[in-house]
């Protein structure tokens, strides 16, 4: 039995009130990668900006 099938089997046994909580959890999990992606993009942009600012320092560290 796949994970998806196991989840469906468990969901079928839950009362409606708990299904609402599960739905909210699933939606929050789906939204999370977008937030991580945005955060990673901002971190990468900050790195690129620092790379330009400290290019000489990074070059010297790499050559040491």
pLDDT in tens, the chain (64 residues): 899 999 999 999 999 989 999 999 988 888 776 666 777 788 888 878 887 787 888 788 888 8
For the chain, the 3-state helix, strand and coil shares in percent, each to the nearest 5, are: 90, 0, 10
Its domain, for residue 31, covers 3-63
pTM for the complete prediction? Answer: 0.47
Query: How many structural domains comprise the chain?
Result: 1
């Amino acid at each position: 039995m796949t994970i998806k099938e196991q989840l469906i089997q468990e969901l079928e046994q839950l009362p409606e009130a708990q299904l609402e909580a599960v739905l909210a959890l699933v939606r929050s999990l789906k939204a999370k990668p977008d937030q991580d992606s945005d955060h990673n993009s901002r971190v990468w942009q900050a790195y690129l900006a620092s790379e330009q600012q400290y290019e000489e320092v990074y070059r010297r560290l790499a050559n040491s």
